Amino acid sequence: MAYTNSSLVSYTKLSPNHSGQRTHSIDRITPHCVVGQLTAESICGCFTSPSVEASCNYGIGKDGKIALCVEEKNRSWCSSSRENDQRAVTIECASDLKDPYAMTTAVYSSLVKLCTDICKRNGKKKLLWLGDKNTTLNYSPKSDEMVLTVHRWFANKSCPGDWLYSRLGDLASKVTAALGGSSSGSGTSVLYRVRKSWSDAKSQKGAFNNLDNAKRCADSNAGYSVYDESGKVVYTGKQTASGGAGTPFLVKVSATDLNIRKGPGTNYAKTGKYTGKGVFTITEVKSGTGSTAGWGKLKSGAGWISLDYAKRV
Ligand SMILES: [Zn+2]
């Protein structure tokens, strides 16, 4: 499929910071928070100098105006992941300077329109939010599916901010509805929610049309279950809270510099030691700050590691 750019763009200032044409077709969209209530023009202005070594495909200004910084056919330098940026259209959105990096209604509604347009031009009928790093990165999208990814999975950042992160399920269902895909025509496309408990809506990892995807998400997050629309548990994840039936299990670590901490969270001190590459036994899983997939206790007694950087084997 030939690459095109969005006709929703009303300002173009191309950045020199990109890798030339993508080596992977587009099947992901990665929305970011630019950290500042900037105009579309100033978002482009952030990326005009080669020395910043960063860019994005599109920028959305605080008033909803859409700008083009790197043509869709080219790989932008945006998400701290070469693999992701080869296949993702990256979008920097004007946001507040501070947590939860809230965005204006105008930005959000432009984001819905831009994502819809990107899906349409790239032959996609659905935008999916799978809600979890491991589930998403291990998922092979069907030819008509586009998948949302987030910067925080690839770097120690809060991007796209909790404001947008908590709305990604809504973004996916709005875009899918606009594309006329699934969602049984009623406008209520979201069915299965993955949470710690029904009343703890903030713990929600994702909302899924597909029960299998919801189960997979619950399995990879300690203490999570799948709930139907009325709040009834339809499935309990394999790793229940603290310890859990699923433990012990083996994980593979591919990073050389994965920190071992004294407790389950980035709020616990580093031990100063790293796991190094290898396969390790996890005896307990707990949720905690700074890790989407939870924290795993090393059998050796050395401490805890973030399961975001470990693959279950
Ligand atoms: Zn980002």
163-210: pLDDT as tens digits? 999 999 999 999 999 998 654 333 444 578 888 888 788 888 888 877
44: pLDDT strictly greater than 60:
yes
Higher pLDDT, 33 or 257: 33
Q: Measure 152 CA to ligand 1 centroid, in angstroms.
A: 7
Ligand 1: centre distance to CA 294 (Å): 21
Segment 290-308, tens digit of pLDDT: 887 788 899 999 999 998 8
Q: Stretch 119-128: mean pLDDT, rounded?
A: 96
Q: Is the pLDDT of residue 69 over 70?
A: yes
- What integer pLDDT is reported at residue 186 of this predicted model? 39
Given this model, what pLDDT does residue 190 score?
Answer: 54
Cα radius of gyration rounded to whole Å, the chain? 20
Residues 207-225: pLDDT tens digits?
Answer: 887 788 888 888 888 788 8
- Within the chain, residue ranges assigned H as helices are 40-45, 82-87, 105-121, 133-137, 161-165, 168-178, 211-219
| Centroid of ligand 1 to alpha carbon of 170 (angstroms) | 20
Query: How far is the C-alpha of 79 from the C-alpha of 136, rounded, in Å?
Result: 15
Q: Are strands 145-148 and 126-128 parallel, antiparallel or unpaired?
A: parallel
| pLDDT band at residue 242 using 50, 70 and 90 as cut-offs | very low
Judge contact between 118 and 26, C-beta under 8 A.
Answer: yes
Q: Which domains does the chain have, with CATH numbers?
A: 11-179 (3.40.80.10), 189-241 (no CATH), 248-313 (2.30.30.40)
Residue 226's DSSP bridge partners are 194, 235
pLDDT at 310: 86
Ligand 1 centroid, distance to 151 Cα (angstroms): 5
Per-residue pLDDT tens for 134-164? 999 999 999 999 999 999 999 999 999 999 9
**3 state DSSP class of 162:** helix
Instruction: Report CA(79)–ligand 1 centroid distance (Å).
Output: 6
Mean pLDDT rounded to a whole number for the chain:
89
Ligand 1 center–CA 233 separation, angstroms: 34
The strand order across the sheet containing 192-195 reads 206-208, 192-195, 225-227, 233-236
Compute, in angstroms, the gap from residue 3 CA to the centroid of ligand 1. Answer: 23
Q: How far apart are CA 226 and CA 232, in angstroms?
A: 8
Q: What phi and psi, each to the nearest 5 degrees, are found at residue 213?
A: -65, -40
pLDDT-based confidence at residue 228 (cuts at 50, 70, 90):
confident
- What's the average model confidence in pLDDT over 45-68? 97
* 54 neighbors 114 (Cβ within 8 angstroms): no
Going from the Cα of 135 to the center of ligand 1, the distance in angstroms, rounded, reads 20
For residue 43, how far is its CA from the centre of ligand 1 (angstroms)?
A: 13
**Global pTM exceeds 0.75:** no
Indicate whether 116 pLDDT > 90: yes
Please give the distance, rounded to the nearest whole angstrom, from the Cα atom of residue 235 to the centre of ligand 1: 33
Asked whether the beta carbons of 257 and 289 are under 8 A apart, the reply is no
Ligand 1 centroid to residue 101 C-alpha, Å: 12
Whether pLDDT at 245 is above 50 = no
pLDDT given for residue 47 in this prediction: 97
As to burial, measured by CB atoms within 10 angstroms (0-12 exposed, 13-18 middle, 19+ buried), residue 38 is: buried
